[in-house]
Chain A
Amino acid sequence: MALDPALVGRSYPPSAVYEVGREKIAEFAAAIGATDPVHTDAEAARAAGHAEVVAPPTFAIVLTLSAAGVVVEDPDVALDYSRVVHGEQRFTHHRSIRAGDRLVATPTIDAVRSVGGNDLLTTRVDVTTEDGEPVCSATSVLVARGTA
């Protein structure tokens, strides 16, 4: 079933606070083979001008994927997740994510389209600190194959 265009602009409540840990950053950096010590060594990070160890540029997906999952599971969206592939991804960083950050992720539906029998859902997840400082924005296009 094609997605309802009226869904565009729908926003969801902010996620619970996600506290960024040094070990999580180190684990993520290891998983992508990023060996720059600014990801693992607070001294090296400070020497490079950062307040704390900083996350690799795509780390935000750890928070934004589950935030976008809230949209996918919305009964009005109800995409069949087994048919969903990731079509496109964009990150806009206002600053790096670093250890100790307490972040919340707020999803919004930016666009819905049907192309060639596929449903395309564009979600934007805005990541801020719990105090509201903008950190990054992650936009994903999810493609549900053969559902439109």
Chain B
Amino acid sequence: MTATVRAIDVAVGTELPEQTHQVTRADLVRYAGASGDFNPIHWSERVATEVGLPGVIAHGMLTMALAARAVTAWVGDPAALVEYHVRFGRPVAVPDDDTGARVTVRGRVGAVGEDGRARVDLTVTSGGEKVLSLARATVQLA
């Protein structure tokens, strides 16, 4: 483990640096290719609206991955994330323009255990609305 944040320096209520990500249609295409998730609701306006969505939406797994970056950047080691659980509450609609959608990630330590593990509770929003109804990451601290 090479986490750079020490358990001794972390308390319940410790806030993580906020991150904001821009997500465009091009990002969705790139993520589709990298992940192998080619569900057309992530690239076809026609299919997305046919199934009742507001339009093309981001992969929930992309939002989940972006949210994890706030945690791994804070802890200093992508390998320190041992448990990660999210509920997808609301889709992130990504308009077909050059700006796309903005996803903002805030994190706060909700628990610190004797074992040097901390639970980080994440709040992930887009357009002022929570898009993950639950997002919790457990990290192994140094």
| Contact among A31, A65, A81, A88 for B31, CB-based, below 8 A | A31
Asked if A58 contacts B78 (CB within 8 A), the reply is: no
| Contact among A28, A38, A89, A92 for B64, CB-based, below 8 A | A89
Tell me whether B51 is interfacial, beta carbon within 8 Å.
yes
In angstroms, Cα B89 to Cα A87, docked, is 8
Residue from A31, A38, A55, A57 whose CB has the most chain B CB atoms within 10 Å: A57
CB distance from B120 to the nearest CB of A (A): 12
Please classify how large the interface on chain A is, using the bins under 10, 10 to 19, 20 to 34, 35 or more.
35 or more
Q: Which residues of A contact B96 (CB under 8 A)?
A: none
Q: Which residues of B contact A58 (CB under 8 A)?
A: 61, 64-65, 68, 84
Asked if B1 contacts A49 (CB within 8 A), the reply is: yes
CB distance from B113 to the nearest CB of A (A): 16
Closest 8 CB pairs of A and B: A31-B34, A32-B65, A96-B79, A90-B85, A57-B81, A86-B60, A58-B65, A49-B2
Residues of B within 8 A of A (CB): 1-2, 21, 27, 30-31, 33-37, 39, 47, 51-52, 60-62, 64-66, 68-69, 72-73, 77-79, 81-88, 91
